[in-house]
Chains A and B, each alone.
Chain A
Amino acid sequence: MDKIRESILTKSHASKLERRGKIISFMCLGGICLIVLAIFIFIAYRGLATFTSDHVSIFKFLGGTKWNPEVTENGHPLVGALPMITGSFLITILATLLALPFAIGTALMMTDITPKMGTRILQPVLELLVGIPSVVYGFVGLTVVVPFMRSIFGGSGFGILAGTFVLFVMVLPTITSMTVDALKSVPKDYRSASLALGATRWQTIYKVVLRTATPGILTAIVFGMARAFGEALAVQMVVGNAALMPTSLVAPASTLTSVLTTGIGNTVLGTVQNDALWSLALILLLMSLAFNLAIHLIAKRGELKR
């Protein structure tokens, strides 16, 4: 009697294993979430120190055009982040605008014009472009794009335009492959119906396919912008690293990421100069969040339309 009772009331080996497995796998997942929280807490803690312990006004930080943390003016260090913010946004927007027609064109080739050639040639081309490490893009930019800019526009060749060309190639595969997904999700009936009405292929693409796929293409654009905004080394190598307000596209400028990569190693943790850099990192983090939010909003609106 006792043995049966015991076997019913105690847990079997399998159920213990089940419990253990569930707990372990949950801990892995929890660990990842903890990392995400830790990233925000750590960067925010450092980044806010500029405003709390160094008493820099947040408006002066975001709106100031002079970045020279070593110099203090009226008791406050010169930490105006506007040059870097402008540089980052300019490069991001220009690169995305330049990449957009190429991305949509390539995606259309893959879905509507020659799907066979698309999967056999264009798909591997995009995968290779994604796979090339960013420092290699930076190196090619430095040895090809920058001298090219120099020979055309004079000056040093470093600047926002050089960064734009490098980033253009880097965001192209991201935008293209996501646009392909968006175009593929347009039902085939739409295309058939349009063709049956007598529309040409281009009319079908322009008036039906692209319009139906607009939310998806917008998501692709935001993804591309997020990648461009956060790219550090490739941009840093060609942008010229001068923390000045950009006055021309071919003059040395800087971005949030470029100042961060060059600056963190040259400042001491806990000083004003260092805190200001962490504030730039915080901006980068918040922008990444904003891009994420935008993607969610676009997805929600796209759903409502359907």
Chain B
Amino acid sequence: MNAKRYDKLATGLLYTIAGIVVLILLLLLGFIIIRGLPQLSWSFLTTPSRAFTAGGGIGIQLFNSIYLLILTMLISMPIALGASIYLNEYAKPGKVTSIIRTMIEILSSLPSVVVGLFGFLLFVVQFGLSFSILSGALALTVFNLPLLTRSIEDALKSISNDQRNGGLALGISKWETVTKIILPAAVPSIVSGLILSAGRVFGEAAALIYTAGQSAPALNFANWNPFDIDSPLNPMRPAETLAVHIWKINSEGIMPDSSAVSAGAAAVLIIVVLIFNLLARWIGRLLFKRLTAGS
């Protein structure tokens, strides 16, 4: 009889634990949404921030985050694609391949602050790019590459070998089989991996503090010439992102309404990450439909 009682007790305990975990998430989300949503307004999302007085917005930071995200994806996508094609299609199992895989694993487990410091040494100091969007995008690329490579490799791996044999049987080369048959078939899962990594990049701050910098100079949104210093598109200007902004105003504590501004900014971050998550899920379902209905 004792064993049965233990079983019931343990089951109850497990239910409680799972309940607490769900509760933690609900409290977290609830706190951020309740505190943050009232802050959100068109003017909050578009006006520049103010360092010493209340009432500033997050316009420039939001733009910087999006611009940095796009640049990072543009740089890291082709590299990750090439690397994963080689790993999945060309690499023969052996010592060299396993060393390369270990290196990618190590890179993916490096703390993001170390990646940021490396970016500072190489891009900011060595290459002389100073604190700029370009340095930030390159550091984020380093941070993003291992995970993106792995997710694309998984996507390629999930394509059945029949497709590869079919391509080779038609007499086209391996490269053309990969680019014309395998890649198109893997697009939905590649895109869903891409979106998930975009969510990570969007919220990353530690790798950016010493690469993209912590200041957001005023921008002239009428000037779209990327070579002008006040142009939003200029990749050589320092650019504080949304996540860095939250960190900075909280650790400096000179902005009088820093708590309200960071609540609003945190809500924006969470909502964007939520949208990315839902998008990735939706695309995953699309893939499922394509695979099962075969339309």
Distance between Cα atoms of A169 and B273 in the complex (Å): 17
CB-CB < 8 A to A261: which residues of B? 113, 206, 209
Question: A59 at the A/B interface (Cβ < 8 Å)?
Answer: no
Question: B254 at the A/B interface (Cβ < 8 Å)?
Answer: no
Q: B residues 210-244 with Cβ under 8 Å of A?
A: 210, 214, 243-244
Residue ID in chain B nearest A113 by CB atoms? B14
Question: B31 at the A/B interface (Cβ < 8 Å)?
Answer: yes
B3:A200 contact, CB within 8 angstroms: yes
Chain A interface size, under 10 / 10 to 19 / 20 to 34 / 35 or more = 35 or more
Residue ID in chain B nearest A121 by CB atoms? B22
B11:A113 contact, CB within 8 angstroms: yes
Distance between Cα atoms of A291 and B114 in the complex (Å): 15
Partner of A25, one of B86, B142, B214, B263: B86
Distance between Cα atoms of A132 and B106 in the complex (Å): 23
Residue ID in chain B nearest A172 by CB atoms? B21
A43:B203 contact, CB within 8 angstroms: no
Digitize B264-283: 1 where CB-to-A-CB distance is under 8 Å, 0 elsewhere: 00100110011011000000
Distance between Cα atoms of A200 and B6 in the complex (Å): 9
| Chain B, interface SS category | helix
Question: B178 at the A/B interface (Cβ < 8 Å)?
Answer: yes
Q: A residues 106-146 with Cβ under 8 Å of B?
A: 106, 108-109, 113, 121-122, 125, 127-129, 131-136, 138-140, 142-144
B81:A28 contact, CB within 8 angstroms: yes
Question: B100 at the A/B interface (Cβ < 8 Å)?
Answer: yes
Question: B46 at the A/B interface (Cβ < 8 Å)?
Answer: no
A22:B90 contact, CB within 8 angstroms: yes
Q: A residues 134-181 with Cβ under 8 Å of B?
A: 134-136, 138-140, 142-144, 169, 172, 176
> Could you say which of B158-166, B169-177, B287-295 contacts chain A?
B169-177
Question: A54 at the A/B interface (Cβ < 8 Å)?
Answer: no
Residue ID in chain A nearest B10 by CB atoms? A202
Q: A residues 251-274 with Cβ under 8 Å of B?
A: 257, 260-262, 264-265, 269
Question: A229 at the A/B interface (Cβ < 8 Å)?
Answer: yes
Digitize A52-69: 1 where CB-to-B-CB distance is under 8 Å, 0 elsewhere: 000000000000000000
Are A26 and B86 also in contact (CB < 8 A) when A43-B117, A134-B206, A288-B114 are? yes
Are A29 and B83 also in contact (CB < 8 A) when A136-B246, A140-B28, A200-B3 are? yes
> Could you say which of A32-40, A185-193, A242-250 contacts chain B?
A32-40
Q: How far is the CB of B249 from chain A (nearest CB, A)?
A: 10
Q: Could you give 10 example pairs across A and B, Cβ below 8 Å?
A: A17-B175, A28-B81, A105-B14, A121-B22, A129-B24, A264-B117, A269-B125, A281-B113, A281-B114, A289-B106
Residues of A in contact with B (beta carbons under 8 Å apart): 14-15, 17-18, 20-22, 24-29, 31-33, 35-36, 38-39, 42-43, 46, 101-102, 105-106, 108-109, 113, 121-122, 125, 127-129, 131-136, 138-140, 142-144, 169, 172, 176, 199-203, 205-206, 223, 226, 229-233, 236-237, 257, 260-262, 264-265, 269, 278, 281, 284-285, 288-289, 291-292, 296
Residues of B in contact with A (beta carbons under 8 Å apart): 3-4, 6-7, 9-11, 13-15, 17-18, 20-22, 24-25, 28-29, 31-32, 35, 78-83, 85-87, 89-91, 100, 102-107, 109-115, 117-118, 120-122, 125, 142, 145-146, 149, 172-176, 178-179, 199-200, 202-206, 209-210, 214, 243-244, 246-247, 250-251, 259, 262-263, 266, 269-270, 273-274, 276-277
